[in-house]
């Protein structure tokens, strides 16, 4: 897959991050947003990109070992167990003690979802939801980041719009994801013994602050070379 980024010298660290972050956000969206199916677990277990993503965190390496290490004859049993655990963790709040929603973790009123709805609308994003997910559901918030990442890499943009996309992502990490997801992960890890959800939780907890750091570093790189940023990107990351 080829991805275009603003025209400047790109370090190996930036290449690895840019090449993996959209994949990582999609992985989180898939597993936190719906019950694991046989095809979902098999799909991610076969995906070669999971190796590069896994190297970014210990949680990622745990998740890779679990998803890629399953024997074909065991997949159905694994899938059934993880699907049951998804229902217990994400839908039965009396068992897990929490909901996978920002308002619930921060003690906000239900009207808080209107804030997220406005954020999405101002970015020109409308989600086609599979069920009754609220706008502050963990999967919706993580999918928002996945969409913004795709826009940043695949659209032609000026220096101004590049910075606007960075602003949106940095602000969303600081004002939403990093405010409540670390606590969500702590509660999730206390509530489960599932290798899948423990790996996802640890990977997510490690990845979000790293992603913010890399966004800020990417911004600094763009700002230090304003003369070479044109209206169309010219560096290709493979």
Contact criterion met (CB below 8 Å) for 171 and 138: no
Owning domain of residue 161: 12-217
- Asked if residue 76 belongs to a domain, the reply is yes
- Asked if residue 161 belongs to a domain, the reply is yes
DSSP state of 226: G
Q: pTM value?
A: 0.86
Q: What CATH number did the domain enclosing 80 receive?
A: 1.10.3480.10
- Asked if residue 57 belongs to a domain, the reply is yes
Would you say residue 72 has pLDDT above 90? no
Distance CA 58, CA 32 (A): 19
Distance CA 60, CA 53 (A): 7
- Asked if residue 234 belongs to a domain, the reply is no
Dump pLDDT digits (tens) for 94-120: 665 678 999 888 888 778 888 898 999
User: Six-digit token pair at 52?
Assistant: 């590069």
- Asked if residue 235 belongs to a domain, the reply is no
- Asked if residue 96 belongs to a domain, the reply is yes
Angle in degrees, CA 20, 24, 30, rounded to 5? 145
- pLDDT at site 232: 40
Distance CA 229, CA 45 (A): 38
Q: How many domains does the chain have?
A: 1
Distance CA 58, CA 39 (A): 25
Lowest mean pLDDT of 80-84, 97-101, 145-149, 204-208, name the range.
97-101
- Asked if residue 48 belongs to a domain, the reply is yes
Share of the chain above pLDDT 70, in %: 84
Would you say residue 77 has pLDDT above 50? yes
Can you tell me whether residue 130 is helix, strand or coil?
coil
How far CA 96 is from CA of 108, 132, 142, 199, in Å, comes to 19, 19, 21, 17
- pLDDT at site 6: 47
Distance CA 41, CA 188 (A): 20
Task: Note the maximum CA span of the chain.
Answer: 57
Distance CA 189, CA 204 (A): 12
Lowest mean pLDDT of 42-46, 88-92, 171-175, 191-195, name the range.
42-46
């Amino acid at each position: 897959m080829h991805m275009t980024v603003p025209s400047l010298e790109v370090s190996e660290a930036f290449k690895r991050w840019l090449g993996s972050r959209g994949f990582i956000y999609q992985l989180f969206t898939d597993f936190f947003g719906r019950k694991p199916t046989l095809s979902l677990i098999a799909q991610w277990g076969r995906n070669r990109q999971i190796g590069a993503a896994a190297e970014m965190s210990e949680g990622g390496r745990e998740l890779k070992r679990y998803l890629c290490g399953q024997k074909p004859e065991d997949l159905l049993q694994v899938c059934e167990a993880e699907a049951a655990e998804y229902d217990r963790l994400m839908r039965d709040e009396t068992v897990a003690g929490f909901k996978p929603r920002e308002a619930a973790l921060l003690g906000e009123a239900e009207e808080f979802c209107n804030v997220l709805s406005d954020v999405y609308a101002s970015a020109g994003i409308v989600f086609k939801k599979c069920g009754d997910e609220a706008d502050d559901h963990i999967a919706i918030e993580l999918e928002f980041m996945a969409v913004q990442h795709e826009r940043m890499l695949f659209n032609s943009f000026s220096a101004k719009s590049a910075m606007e996309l960075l602003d949106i992502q940095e602000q969303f990490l600081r004002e939403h994801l990093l405010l409540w997801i670390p606590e969500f992960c702590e509660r999730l890890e206390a509530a489960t013994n599932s290798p899948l959800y423990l790996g996802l939780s640890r990977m997510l907890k490690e990845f979000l602050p790293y992603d913010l750091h890399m966004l800020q570093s990417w911004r600094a790189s763009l700002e230090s070379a304003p003369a070479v940023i044109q209206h169309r990107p010219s560096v290709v990351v493979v």
